[in-house]
Chains A and B, each alone.
Chain A
């Protein structure tokens, strides 16, 4: 099967520092892939390169066979790439419903139709009863759900989640995992997630990509990765290995 997302040899430097160095990986349609690695490994930079907030210095990013590396973020969104931010960025002065409507307007110019899509997305994330609140009135876990609902409302084929579980309690993490698993199962949505919460990674990911110092050091199934000596060394230091 051809890959939905194909990242090949992508690099990006900041003032001489190679944040992402010749990283390649592919994601098949309907797959859930986790990107893990220590802080500063270049995970968020990699996401920004895929979503279009940054452009790569080198390498190609193909989405559904089309090179998108030169496109702005809004164009990539219209093609079906949606993302959430590590530090959630809801439109604080808008209601929860209006936040999701802004997302849904990416696929229809009709506000009434967008409202229906928005409500469906809010419903999926369990936010339907809070739709009248201002986004600024939500708790952190709810803001994370809103961020995800807003991204879902755009009708993506690829969803990029940047630490969607961070700061959540274990029961909330399990709730989020089941929402994502159901989305993937029912709609075939392809998901790439950056995650530190291994409980979520192990439950969701079919494949894991490990970054360290901007380079891909390992890739494989969750079972392979948890036994990989290189990964263990980079995570826990020499002593553990």
Chain B
């Protein structure tokens, strides 16, 4: 454990640790000081921070563009929800099935793509294709609700059962906060280990990486397997938090795009990027909604337009994302 702690701290800039501790403390006491509306937004931010972190392993670390991560969210959601609805299996157990399902799908995609050298946009298309035909498949599978949807029994008012993940929003808040914190810690460990160096090397230049002894296939497979395994629990959370699952929604390409915006805007390949990006996008979009509502304007699609504008501004002025620029401001640059 101390060895882990040492590796985690490693070459972190000295000011990062107190700031991180302060952020964690603030997040821990947040439910005590905000109302239920703000709490629901905080849950959304942490959810996107979590899946963004998982996706960032593939694109930010290993340079493999997946545009079909909704596949792993959806498989995770359905695997745990079906076990719960039909067999009364607790989500904490169902999560293992969720992870297993995501890993199985990722293994097929990875083996196909990386064995046959499918890379770049073609790899991205392959990930979209898998998510899309899974969506269509689930639409025609009545046992799990088909296109009519799968519904989890909602908790009775006031009832709270942690083991079955039936409870008030504040419980979900702490669940997703723990998940986001663990994802952050895990990504940090991966990044400072041999695997993190190898991922970044193959992201930069595959031939040079191979010449330095890196088994490209193996490390790309590890990226997609770890990323998908991390994404699946987000699906479990989604299923038990929202209680309704529709293939049309959960496997939708929009969902895949939505979850990659955070890390891109926050900073690809950074640990804080996905968190910051999730915060900026979700909070600003809510503020925008509030402002529009206060003005009495009803503009459908305003959120999507806003996402588009954010992306445009970041790509034009901060091509590395917001976090690297902010880190320099805060004196948190990685030592060079």
**Closest Cβ–Cβ distance, residue A186 to chain B (whole Å):** 23
Identify which of B204, B212, B336 gathers the most chain A CB atoms within 10 Å of its CB.
Answer: B212
A203 within 8 A of B: no
Interface string of A46-82 (1 = CB under 8 A from B): 0000010100000000000000000011100110001
- The answer for the CA separation of A95 and B197 in the assembled complex, in Å, is 11
B303 within 8 A of A: no
Interface string of A80-98 (1 = CB under 8 A from B): 0011010001111111001
Chain A residues within 8 Å of B193, by CB:
111
Q: A91-B204, A132-B335, A133-B336 are in contact. Are A82 and B211 (CB under 8 A)?
A: yes
A101 within 8 A of B: yes
Chain B residues within 8 Å of A78, by CB:
213
Chain A residues within 8 Å of B208, by CB:
85, 89-91
Which residue from A73, A111, A132 sits with its C-beta under 8 Å from B211?
A: A73
Chain A residues within 8 Å of B207, by CB:
53, 73, 85, 89
Which chain B residue shows the least CB distance to A101?
A: B197
Residue tally, chain B, CB below 8 Å to A: 23
Q: A53-B207, A92-B204 are in contact. Are A111 and B197 (CB under 8 A)?
A: yes
**Closest Cβ–Cβ distance, residue A7 to chain B (whole Å):** 18
Which residue from A74, A90, A93, A132 sits with its C-beta under 8 Å from B213?
A: A74
B200 within 8 A of A: yes
B215 within 8 A of A: yes
- Please classify the interface of chain B as helix (H, G, I), strand (E, B), loop, or mixed, using the class held by over half of its residues: helix
Q: A53-B211, A102-B201, A102-B209 are in contact. Are A74 and B216 (CB under 8 A)?
A: yes
Chain B residues within 8 Å of A105, by CB:
194, 197-198, 213
Which residue from A89, A90, A102, A134 sits with its C-beta under 8 Å from B197?
A: A102
Identify which of B192, B193, B200, B204 gathers the most chain A CB atoms within 10 Å of its CB.
Answer: B204
B210 within 8 A of A: yes
Contact at B213–A106, with CB atoms within 8 Å?
A: yes
- The answer for the CA separation of A93 and B210 in the assembled complex, in Å, is 17
Interface string of A158-194 (1 = CB under 8 A from B): 0000000000000000000000000000000000000
Chain B residues within 8 Å of A93, by CB:
200, 203-204
A16 within 8 A of B: no
A45 within 8 A of B: no
- The answer for the CA separation of A41 and B209 in the assembled complex, in Å, is 27
Interface string of B83-126 (1 = CB under 8 A from A): 00000000000000000000000000000000000000000000
Which chain B residue shows the least CB distance to A84?
A: B211
**Closest Cβ–Cβ distance, residue B223 to chain A (whole Å):** 16
Interface string of A96-127 (1 = CB under 8 A from B): 00100111011001110010000000000000
Contact at B204–A150, with CB atoms within 8 Å?
A: no
Which residue from A74, A95, A114 sits with its C-beta under 8 Å from B210?
A: A74
**Closest Cβ–Cβ distance, residue B87 to chain A (whole Å):** 42
Interface string of B198-233 (1 = CB under 8 A from A): 101101110111111111100000000000000000
Chain A residues within 8 Å of B203, by CB:
93
Given A53-B211, A74-B213; 20 other pairs, CB 8 A cutoff: A74-B215, A74-B216, A77-B210, A90-B208, A91-B208, A93-B200, A93-B204, A98-B197, A98-B200, A101-B197, A102-B200, A102-B201, A103-B212, A106-B212, A106-B214, A111-B192, A111-B197, A150-B212, A151-B212, A154-B212
